[in-house]
A = this chain, B = another copy of it.
Amino acid sequence: MARIVMKFGGTSMAGIERILSVAGRVKREAAAGNEVLVVVSAMAGETDRLVQLCREAAALHDAREYDVVVASGEQVTAGLLAMTLQNMGVPARSFMGWQLVRASGVHGNARVEAVEGALLDEALRGGTVAVIPGFQGVSDDGRLATLGRGGSDTSAVAIAAGLSADRCDIYTDVDGVYTTDPRIVPRARKLDAITFEEMLELAGVGAKVLQTRSVGLAMRANLPLRVLSAFEDGPGTRIVAELSGAEMEHNRIAGIAADRNEARVTLTAIADQPGTVAAVISPLAEAGILVDMIVHAATPDRGSSDLTFTVPRASLAQAMAVIEQRRAAIAYADLIHDDAVAKVSIVGVGIRSNPALAAKMFETLAERSINLLAVSSSEIKVSALIAEAELDLAVRVLHSAFGLDAEQAA
């Protein structure tokens, strides 16, 4: 017997027939003797509809009232799933976010602070399936608070962690985590297992299977996740702290990430002196602009060099304005920007111990004459900024080179 959290996304909850199918999956887990908590999203399209109503009501609206409106979508599906389960002979009841999930931070984008476990514990021990609307809780001011888009994943993980669940299964419309975007590489392969860190890097750079915040939360709680299909049976992909010996090869790359949401900014001939980089980056951070790749290497004895960084495309105009306002203070020669760029990354825990992997990446791209506009690397990821027109080719050749294509797999 295990205690498990099952989370179902909007596509799985879109209509009574699909809710019936979800109830069937829940019943199977409960019938196997597990204690089951289910976290549900709103029906697909419903949250968008509610957000649109808020926009029409007031272009700039109070986040607390927004929360009241949009939180209703998950409330509906939670009630419907609970009654569907009861109708199938499975003891079940819904709990509202305001009854058990304490949230903090700003309305519309709150964080889960704590989960009132006693109420749930009692239900679970009595053999009742607990159904909980995702994406919401109650804030310090006693009002409804939502967790931001995609927050149902975070709810599920927070509830699983708070209730000491053995695992959290995220049911979605894909059957697992892939080595790369199958729209770019049709031979992309489903992974049996991936580490939290790898998943964070893949999610952060484009693989949108799980909300990043939920993965970080699971990693801190050391809570095993599974991503699996709500529509087909299958083992899905396990997301774990460490891979087993068999899964972990020396040269393992988990996947290739692709991100088109990049724009490059270069300041030429800035002084090589302490504080110059900070003088550029700090005002951007203050303006709320997410600076991603930062590339700067001073050339010895030349006295000045270039600084390149990337920002999300939607922030490019604002970033340029922030820099131009500080032209005198920063003292650069030219300010150059380019939004026809993209980022390709190899992600894998193997990178940590094997420098040959980064070298292989650069060689592979060079063979196809793909120019590197910038490079950055972390413990488990190497990223290259390239022309956007070359992104698909880059992803495909790297996917093959690292042995990830489906046919090449064991």
A62 to B84, CA, bound (A): 10
Report yes or no: A58 in contact with B87, Cβ–Cβ below 8 A: yes
A392 to B80, CA, bound (A): 44
Report yes or no: B82 in contact with A65, Cβ–Cβ below 8 A: yes
A16 to B, closest residue via Cβ: B56
A94 to B65, CA, bound (A): 7
Report yes or no: A65 in contact with B53, Cβ–Cβ below 8 A: no
Q: Does A50 contact B (CB under 8 A)?
A: yes
- Pick the contact of A80: B19, B54, B98 (CB < 8 A): B54
A119 to B, closest residue via Cβ: B142
Q: Does A164 contact B (CB under 8 A)?
A: no
* Interface segment out of the listed A71-79, A270-278, A336-344: A71-79
Q: How far is the CB of A217 from chain B (nearest CB, A)?
A: 26
Q: How far is the CB of A274 from chain B (nearest CB, A)?
A: 48
Given A53-B16, A93-B65, A98-B98: A58 and B86 within 8 A (CB)?
Answer: yes
In the complex, which residues of chain B have a beta carbon less than 8 angstroms from the beta carbon of A98?
96, 98
In the complex, which residues of chain B have a beta carbon less than 8 angstroms from the beta carbon of A62?
82-83, 86, 93
Q: Does A99 contact B (CB under 8 A)?
A: yes
Given A56-B16, A87-B61, A96-B144: A75 and B78 within 8 A (CB)?
Answer: no
Q: Does A69 contact B (CB under 8 A)?
A: yes
Given A72-B72, A96-B68, A142-B99: A57 and B78 within 8 A (CB)?
Answer: no
Q: Does A396 contact B (CB under 8 A)?
A: no
A58 to B79, CA, bound (A): 11
Q: How far is the CB of A347 from chain B (nearest CB, A)?
A: 41
Given A76-B50, A76-B69: A64 and B84 within 8 A (CB)?
Answer: no
A49 to B, closest residue via Cβ: B76
**Interface of chain A residues 3 through 46 with chain B (CB within 8 A):** 16, 19-20
Q: Does A66 contact B (CB under 8 A)?
A: yes
A82 to B, closest residue via Cβ: B65
Report yes or no: A76 in contact with B53, Cβ–Cβ below 8 A: yes
Q: How far is the CB of A81 from chain B (nearest CB, A)?
A: 8
Q: Does A60 contact B (CB under 8 A)?
A: yes
Report yes or no: A75 in contact with B72, Cβ–Cβ below 8 A: yes
A24 to B261, CA, bound (A): 43
In the complex, which residues of chain B have a beta carbon less than 8 angstroms from the beta carbon of A78?
68
**Interface of chain A residues 268 through 327 with chain B (CB within 8 A):** none
Bitwise, A122-164 to B at CB < 8 A (1) or not (0) is: 0000000000000000000011100000000000000000000
In the complex, which residues of chain B have a beta carbon less than 8 angstroms from the beta carbon of A71?
75
**Interface of chain A residues 73 through 125 with chain B (CB within 8 A):** 73, 75-76, 78-80, 82-84, 86-87, 93-94, 96, 98-99
- Pick the contact of A79: B65, B93, B94 (CB < 8 A): B65
In the complex, which residues of chain B have a beta carbon less than 8 angstroms from the beta carbon of A76?
50, 53, 68-69, 72
Given A19-B57, A57-B19, A144-B96: A65 and B83 within 8 A (CB)?
Answer: yes
Which 6 pairs, one residue from A and one from B, show the smallest C-beta to C-beta distance?
A68-B79, A58-B87, A69-B79, A72-B72, A61-B83, A65-B83
Can you name 19 extra interface pairs (CB under 8 A) apart from A57-B80, A65-B79, A65-B82? A16-B53, A16-B56, A53-B76, A54-B80, A58-B83, A58-B84, A58-B86, A61-B83, A61-B86, A61-B87, A62-B83, A62-B86, A68-B78, A68-B96, A69-B76, A72-B76, A96-B143, A98-B98, A99-B142
Name 25 A/B residue pairs within 8 A (Cβ), A-sorted. Answer: A16-B53, A16-B56, A16-B57, A20-B57, A50-B76, A53-B80, A57-B80, A60-B87, A61-B83, A64-B93, A65-B93, A66-B79, A66-B83, A67-B79, A68-B75, A68-B78, A68-B82, A68-B96, A69-B75, A72-B72, A75-B75, A96-B98, A96-B143, A99-B142, A99-B143
